[in-house]
Amino acid sequence: MIKDLMGFVLRAVVVLSGTALATFVLLWHAPGDPAQAIAMARFDALLTEDVIDQVREEAGLNAGFWTAFRAWVGPLLTLDFGRSAVTGRAVWPDLLVAIRYMLPLALAGLAIGLAISLSLAIVAVKRPGGWLDRFAIAIASLGTAIPAYWLGLLLILLFAVHLAWLPAMGARTPEHVILPALTLGLGVAASLTRIIRSGILEARGQSFLPAIRRRGVSSRGIDRDHIAPHAAIPVVTVFGLELAFLLEGVVMVEVIFGRPGLGTFLVTAIHARDFPQVQAVIVLTALMFVTVNLLIDVVYRVIDPRIGARDA
Amino acid sequence: MRSVVFIAASMFLLAVLGPLLAPHDPTAINIPERLSPLNDDYWLGTDALGRDILSRLLYGARWSLGLAFAISLIGLWVGTLIGLVAALGGKLADWALMRTTDSFLAFPDLVAAVVIAGLLGAGTWSLILALSVTGWVRYARVARGIGLSLQTRGCVIQARLAGLPPGSIARWHYLPWLVPSLTVVWTSMFARAILGISALGFLGFGVQPPMPEWGTMLLDARIHLRSTPLQMVWPGLAVVVSVLAINLAGDALRDAIADDGNQGTRPHREKSRFSLPMPSPRHIRRSR
């Protein structure tokens, strides 16, 4: 177990440094003059060569590749993301604000997605092949094909424009989170329903179940102790991918609903060519994913003892 | 199954024949007729600049479906190559390539694509590059997985003993076995590419105006959500129908392959004329 864990951590470090280097290379070689873009964002117009040169000096764009890379990575190890090239403000506090807007949305979306997919899958497997089952599969297929931005617009059209029940844009009140979270949750539910459904069906096919049943274990007990844990394994496996899906969804949903979260932060930073901000978002995302994948690997071993045992 | 393939095929037919069928020029601006509802002249109405939405949808299919097709094929080619190199190239190559795919899998595709496309400057080429950079990983994983399972097959070992170079082994003994699974992966990546292109278009990083592309059309329509909600429905519907058709066709294909696999059909006849007695794999050093 300890050895496995070391392996995971090593892998995480490799992945993180690879991502950091790739990000830096990409930004370094991005076409266009970043100094000019930054100067435009800062001073709007009336640019002279002097101003651009001054900005270039300030932003450290004169240095060589490795000097610049070291200057960026060094503070990064202490979670210091530097200062925004456009506003000159420290990146981290602004990023924290963005995360604070993103988290409730992501968590609510995940909760809605889990609730819908669980209930849909459980209803579906009551009678595999029945009309409810086929209905659930059809909904799930349709759900994976509907892009979040279209679904979001449709929900705005229905709930904000026609019915006028919920606010569409912004993030002022808790009510503002409902529509974005619903958009996100429906997408998550669509991809999870199939996995949970097939997980349960597969768990039911385990060869030892009839024996346990004949020993007099109640069907509720079987569901709880033998079906649920087994069906949870594939769900945990895809959770990393699901998180990626969630984050992609967050980017789109925040832009549609005008929420000032991490996605909006990223898109704005890219448009302004604010490299420190873009770098910060990417590194943070990679860090998040590596951590979650690490946790998944551990949880995996806890819920499925066979995995650790097989290696040992 | 048949109806799904029919829908997918007709989408493609529409994409190819779009210019012939389109009743108007997709970029022709007609301000007096702007935001007009459905009528005899403009079957699906017009957008904010008075451009015919039906024509834009038909031309847009070339961008949305055509680009997605190209991107998924680039991914297929690159990913298969990398996966095969990982499977055949020895421990070090395998380790390095698989950690690279780990890095890619540990990052949301769309976010990476947004960053790449955004920084390279909006345009078709950066769109293709952005989605291809993230699009090869799944192919590589599948190709490598199957490749590793083929390593101990008789034909592969015999080919190695006969001195066939790794490239030819990959071509004749690995590739045919990869085709079914990779085709299934390809359908799902194709669908993802359609979604990716329209998502980037919607964020303003994709195909640039005045070219009609479904995601960009959605972006245009978004502002007029209250006045002409139908304008937003069409491009979204086009995306959903194509993605759904491709996904379902992929599902059907996967089921068909699973049935086929149970009957033990081989993807191609072995061409080897040798009939050596087979040594057991343990005694063979990987020769390269």
pLDDT of residue A126 exceeding 90, the answer is: no
pLDDT of residue B23: 75
pLDDT tier, A307 (very low <50, low <70, confident <90, very high otherwise): low
Highest mean pLDDT range out of A29-33, A93-97, B3-7? A93-97
* Residues in chain A closer than 8 A to B240 (CB atoms): 142, 145-147, 150
> Domain check: are A72 and A99 in the same one?
no
pLDDT of residue A211 exceeding 80, the answer is: yes
Q: State the Cα–Cα distance between residues A107 and A188, nearest whole angstrom.
A: 11
Is ipTM over 0.85? no
Letter string b/e over residues A90-102, b meaning 16 or more CB atoms within 10 A of that residue's CB:
ebeebbeebbebb
Question: Taking the CB of residue A3, how many other CB atoms lie within 10 A of it?
Answer: 9
Q: Dihedral sign, CA of A228, A234, A239, A242?
A: negative
- B202/A252 touch (CB, cutoff 8 Å), yes or no: yes
∠ CA A160-A110-B237, nearest 5°, is: 50
A275-287 residue pLDDT tens: 888 888 888 888 8
- A270/B115 touch (CB, cutoff 8 Å), yes or no: yes
Residue that terminates a domain, selected from A9, A41, A76? A76
Give the C-alpha distances (Å, rounded to integers) separating A106 from A187, B109, B196: 12, 17, 20
> Domain check: are A67 and A104 in the same one?
no
> Domain check: are A280 and A219 in the same one?
yes
Looking at the partner chain, which of B103, B239, B240 has a beta carbon nearest the beta carbon of A15? B103
pLDDT of residue A222 exceeding 80, the answer is: yes
Q: State the Cα–Cα distance between residues B111 and B116, nearest whole angstrom.
A: 9
Q: State the Cα–Cα distance between residues A241 and B191, nearest whole angstrom.
A: 17
pLDDT of residue B261: 55
pLDDT of residue B271: 41
- Six-digit token string for B268: 């191609």
Any chain A CB within 8 A of the CB of B46?
no
> Domain check: are A182 and A290 in the same one?
yes
Any chain A CB within 8 A of the CB of B203?
yes
Residue with the two structure tokens 């303003």? B204
> Domain check: are A64 and A105 in the same one?
no
Distance from CA of A147 to the nearest CA of B (A): 7
Helices A178-204 and A239-257, packing angle to 10 deg: 160
> Where do the H-state alpha helices sit in A125-261?
131-145, 148-155, 178-204, 209-214, 219-222, 228-237, 239-257
> Where do the H-state alpha helices sit in B22-153?
53-61, 67-88, 91-105, 109-120, 124-135, 137-150
Q: What number of CA atoms fall less than 13 Å from residue A55's CA on the CB side?
A: 23
Any chain A CB within 8 A of the CB of B286?
no
Q: State the Cα–Cα distance between residues B66 and A33, nearest whole angstrom.
A: 32
Looking at the partner chain, which of A19, A244, A273 has a beta carbon nearest the beta carbon of B103? A19
Question: Taking the CB of residue B41, how many other CB atoms lie within 10 A of it?
Answer: 12
CATH of the domain at A291: 1.10.3720.10
Number of domains in chain A: 2
> Domain check: are A275 and A161 in the same one?
yes
Question: Taking the CB of residue B13, how many other CB atoms lie within 10 A of it?
Answer: 12
- Sequence-distant (6+) residues with CB within 8 A of A145 are B191, B239, B240, B243, B244, B247
Q: State the Cα–Cα distance between residues A176 and A198, nearest whole angstrom.
A: 35
Residue with the two structure tokens 């619903």? A182
For A177, the enclosing helix (H) or strand (E) is none
> Domain check: are A176 and A262 in the same one?
yes
With contact defined as beta carbons under 8 Å apart, do A179 and A158 qualify?
A: no
With contact defined as beta carbons under 8 Å apart, do B212 and B63 qualify?
A: yes
pLDDT of residue A312: 40
Mean pLDDT by 10 residues, chain B (288 residues): 74 76 74 72 72 82 87 92 87 84 78 84 83 88 86 83 85 85 89 89 81 83 78 86 87 77 46 41 41
- Sequence-distant (6+) residues with CB within 8 A of B86 are B93, B94, B97, B98, B140, B143, B144, B147
Asked if residue B210 has a cis previous peptide bond (ω within 30° of 0), the answer is yes
Q: Which pTM was predicted?
A: 0.81
A257 domain residue, yes or no: yes
Distance from CA of B278 to the nearest CA of A (A): 30
Nearest CA in chain B to A285: B107
- Point out which residues pair with B52 in neighbouring strands: B46
Give the C-alpha distances (Å, rounded to integers) separating A249 from A80, A146, A246, A299: 27, 12, 5, 25
> Domain check: are A145 and A291 in the same one?
yes
What does the DSSP 8-state code read for residue B117?
Answer: H
Q: State the Cα–Cα distance between residues A168 and B134, nearest whole angstrom.
A: 32
With contact defined as beta carbons under 8 Å apart, do B218 and A168 qualify?
A: no
> Domain check: are A109 and A43 in the same one?
no
pLDDT tier, A32 (very low <50, low <70, confident <90, very high otherwise): low
> Domain check: are A209 and A236 in the same one?
yes
Mean pLDDT of all residues belonging to chain A: 80
With contact defined as beta carbons under 8 Å apart, do B140 and B79 qualify?
A: yes
> Domain check: are A164 and A283 in the same one?
yes
Composition of chain A by helix, strand, coil, percent to 5: 80, 0, 20
pLDDT of residue B72: 92
A109 domain residue, yes or no: yes
Q: State the Cα–Cα distance between residues A181 and A190, nearest whole angstrom.
A: 14
Any chain A CB within 8 A of the CB of B123?
no
What does the DSSP 8-state code read for residue B171?
Answer: I
pLDDT of residue B285: 43
A267 domain residue, yes or no: yes
> Domain check: are A71 and A99 in the same one?
no
Residue with the two structure tokens 């069907």? A219
pLDDT of residue B277: 42
A161 domain residue, yes or no: yes
Kindly tell me the burial class for residue A162, based on how many C-beta atoms sit within 10 Å of its own C-beta (0-12, 13-18, 19 or more): exposed
A to B CB pairs, distance under 8 Å: 126
Any chain A CB within 8 A of the CB of B13?
no
pLDDT of residue A115: 92
Helices A148-155 and B230-262, packing angle to 10 deg: 140
Q: What are phi and psi of B46, to 5 degrees?
A: -125, 165
What does the DSSP 8-state code read for residue A274?
Answer: -
pLDDT tier, A44 (very low <50, low <70, confident <90, very high otherwise): low
Q: State the Cα–Cα distance between residues B185 and A169, nearest whole angstrom.
A: 37
Looking at the partner chain, which of A30, A146, A247 has a beta carbon nearest the beta carbon of B119? A30
Mean pLDDT, rounded, for A177-189? 87
Q: What are phi and psi of A97, to 5 degrees?
A: -60, -45
Q: Which of A267, A210, A205, A239 minimizes the C-alpha distance to B106?
A: A239
- B199/A289 touch (CB, cutoff 8 Å), yes or no: no
A53 domain residue, yes or no: yes
A81 domain residue, yes or no: no
R_g of chain A, CA atoms, integer Å:
24
Q: State the Cα–Cα distance between residues B105 and B137, nearest whole angstrom.
A: 7
Mean pLDDT, rounded, for A10-18? 79
- Six-digit token string for B176: 């045919």
- B239/A30 touch (CB, cutoff 8 Å), yes or no: no
A1 domain residue, yes or no: no
Give me the domain span that covers residue A55. Answer: 21-76
* Residues in chain A closer than 8 A to B236 (CB atoms): 146-147, 150, 153-154
Q: State the Cα–Cα distance between residues B59 and B281, nearest whole angstrom.
A: 56
Any chain B CB within 8 A of the CB of A288?
no
With contact defined as beta carbons under 8 Å apart, do A88 and A161 qualify?
A: no
A168 domain residue, yes or no: yes
Residue that terminates a domain, selected from A29, A44, A76? A76
pLDDT tier, A1 (very low <50, low <70, confident <90, very high otherwise): low
What does the DSSP 8-state code read for residue A261?
Answer: S
Q: State the Cα–Cα distance between residues B214 and B206, nearest whole angstrom.
A: 10
